[in-house]
Amino acid sequence: MKPAPTLLSVVNQVLANKRRPAIAALPPETRLREELGFDSLDMAELTVRLEEAFGVDIFAAGVVRTAGEVEARLPAAQP
């Protein structure tokens, strides 16, 4: 069985598409644009991947800037 996706794994997929190294941790205060270098296309890719993985549009309630803001909009993990 395939492991459940995490925000970190999805962010690393976006980074891989930019040919950038994966990150080991994603603290809540991490700024997506400033610290990870995400541009508008990267944010769009992140949105699509998160919607596929978690079934939620993270931008439906407004702009997100940090990993913590994204995490807060994802559904709680199911046991």
Number of domains in the chain: 1
Note whether residue 78 is domain-resident.
Answer: no
Residue 62 lies in a domain: yes
pTM surpassing 0.85? yes
Q: Which domain holds residue 17?
A: 7-73
CATH number, domain of 46, equals 1.10.1200.10
| Tens-place pLDDT, residues 15-49 | 999 999 999 999 999 999 999 999 999 999 999 99
CA dist 20 and 27 (Å) reads 18
Domain contains 30: yes
In the predicted structure, residue 5 carries a pLDDT above the cut 90: no
Q: Residue 2 falls within a domain, yes or no?
A: no
Residue 27 lies in a domain: yes
Distance CA 73, CA 70 (A): 5
Asked if residue 4 has pLDDT above 80, the reply is: no
**Is the model's pLDDT at 1 over the cut of 80?**
no
Written as one letter, the residue type at 38 is: F
